[in-house]
Chains A and B, each alone.
Chain A
């Protein structure tokens, strides 16, 4: 499903260049639950964002369902993100002035989906927050906000869910709940790619990819 071939990623700033990924090649099959682990600055989040279509690699090719995503026009790449990818961020990234329900509906509103509200309700039901649909993020706990973010990630049933340290800002029990939700999503057929520091959680996924200094460790 996801093919990354000889991916290199360099970041340049103030005249100096930093290579975050060095010739990374990965294949991730449909329905897999993969954890990417590594130390801070190892390149794991960069890897995730390249798969997610938000950072083009400096070199190499990424194909998803045989589509070379970085060869797509910019607006088609946005469509790819909306149709193929569900993002869950460490800092939740909910819009503070929209209710939980409205936040979940965001990916649908650009396509003027007919059953938008019902789909949002269903997604929130999956994460156990249907009853808090009209609450603002500020009226929810950290764990609840992350669950709303997960509902937003799955509301349009993308085949791939990318979770970047989703438990990083949560206590252990809440983090455990979020991980369980990811497992459930995986059972529903979503391909899950989880970036985490937490080796214990990673070991409960199907496969672990370790990144060190921009390279994959075998």
Chain B
């Protein structure tokens, strides 16, 4: 016979009320677990989508004078003290310490080209890398494959009446239109994308690059470290993080987390109040019993221990039940809420759920327990 036998005996006696209390707390914990599960999955989803947004580091030549812009981004100067970027520089980007965080390095040369009285904006790219950083691109036709394949913007195709499979003549050389980009309201609509080397030859800038786009957006990506490492490798280049994308990602994730924490705190406070009211009611119902225990020599601390042990058992079980309910709910809700699945039962969340439930249960029961322990034995016995 130990003190906890009294606690367990009382829990058995008040089975119905304790199940209801446990259910209330379990649902609260389940909601918290589901919030965490769903928001962490949403966070991953947002990160993935933002990864797909494209490049977040631009490497351009250091120069002074007139600026060239591409897609609103500064890509270099044209006047003097120009430090040209070379094709090999794209490979050197891959040599940085945080190489594992880089998903794509997309070198490109950009320039205007006149042919048959028309001006074209030529963009020479490495298509496999370019397609990684331009995940939003959609086109009809096929992916450019050979060195004579080009991908043309929607407006060029419209103005020249070109379709996939047609021929585009540039400087007396015929190029096969592999695909036509869908209109995306950007400079891409007016551009001709062709293989890097081909563009370098046409623009008479062999081995030169106008810029390198680097895609390094990922979970917990040390973006500033990556920028510093690229700058170290290419001291003659300007390396700029695209702050907007990083800031947007961080803001979105932070908002999600704040929302989740706020809701969880509210739920836990409600859970704590439920426990407090229930334990106070339990103490009131057990006034006589507490009086008996005090009369036969129980110290105040013994009474506190009996009541806190009850809270520990109820809240601990509620935590486990809440974790199970929350995990199952998350698995069922994720496909509806985020359109993704794949939530796995997370044992570390079990420890979290049990910990939160026990802390809530114990803290909420301290006042009822102390109140019970301070009952005068005679007053408690005279109650009945």
Contacts and interface: CB of A to CB of B under 8 A. Distances in A.
Contact of A87 (B295, B299, B376): B295
A75 B13 contact: no
A109 to B, nearest CB: 5
B5 interface: yes
The secondary structure that dominates the A interface is: helix
Contact of A78 (B5, B9, B289, B297): B297
Nearest to A117: B1
A88 to B, nearest CB: 11
B296 A107 contact: yes
B287 to A, nearest CB: 12
A108 B1 contact: yes
B271 to A, nearest CB: 26
Contacts of B13: 96-97
Given A78-B300, A83-B297, A95 B292 contact: yes
Name which of A79, A82, A105 has the most chain B CB atoms within 10 A of its CB: A82
Interface string A77-120: 01111110101010101011110011001111110100011001
B298 A97 contact: no
A152 interface: yes
B12 A102 contact: no
Contacts of A96: 13
A201 to B, nearest CB: 23
A138 to B, nearest CB: 11
A54 B295 contact: yes
Interface residues of B, number: 27
Given A93-B381, A95-B289, A97-B10, A82 B296 contact: yes
B378 A55 contact: yes
Contacts, number: 79
A49 B378 contact: yes
A117 B5 CA distance: 14
Contact of A98 (B5, B296, B376, B384): B5
B43 interface: no
Contact of A81 (B2, B296, B302): B296
A214 interface: no
B297 A79 contact: yes
B102 interface: no
B373 to A, nearest CB: 10
Contact of A95 (B6, B294, B300, B301): B6
A112 B299 contact: no
B273 interface: no
Contact of A106 (B12, B293, B300, B377): B293
Given A78-B294, A98-B6, A54 B378 contact: yes
A100 to B, nearest CB: 12
Nearest to A75: B299
Nearest to A112: B2
A54 B294 contact: yes
B20 interface: no
B249 interface: no
A157 B1 CA distance: 18
B294 A109 contact: no
A116 B299 contact: no
Nearest to B294: A78
A102 B296 contact: no
B73 interface: no
A116 B2 CA distance: 10
B299 A105 contact: no
Contacts of B298: 78, 82, 110
Given A91-B384, A93-B288, A106 B296 contact: yes
Contacts of B384: 91
A80 B298 CA distance: 10
B170 interface: no
Contacts of A55: 376, 378
B111 to A, nearest CB: 89
A81 B378 CA distance: 13
A54 B294 CA distance: 8
A18 to B, nearest CB: 13
Contacts of B288: 93
Nearest to A98: B9
Contacts of B296: 81-82, 87, 106-107, 152
A82 B5 CA distance: 19
A14 B10 CA distance: 34
B12 A97 contact: yes
Interface in A25-43: none
Contact of A82 (B1, B6, B297, B300): B297
Name the 10 nearest CB pairs between A and B, nearest first: A82-B297, A105-B1, A97-B13, A54-B377, A97-B9, A81-B297, A78-B299, A109-B1, A55-B378, A93-B292
Given A81-B377, A101-B1, A120-B1, 9 more contacts: A52-B295, A78-B298, A81-B296, A82-B296, A106-B6, A108-B1, A109-B3, A112-B2, A116-B1
Interface of A: 49, 52, 54-55, 74-75, 78-83, 85, 87, 89, 91, 93, 95-98, 101-102, 105-110, 112, 116-117, 120, 152
26 contacts: A49-B378, A54-B378, A75-B299, A75-B300, A75-B301, A78-B297, A78-B298, A79-B297, A81-B296, A81-B297, A82-B296, A83-B297, A93-B288, A95-B292, A96-B13, A97-B9, A102-B5, A106-B6, A106-B296, A107-B297, A110-B298, A110-B302, A112-B2, A116-B1, A117-B1, A120-B1
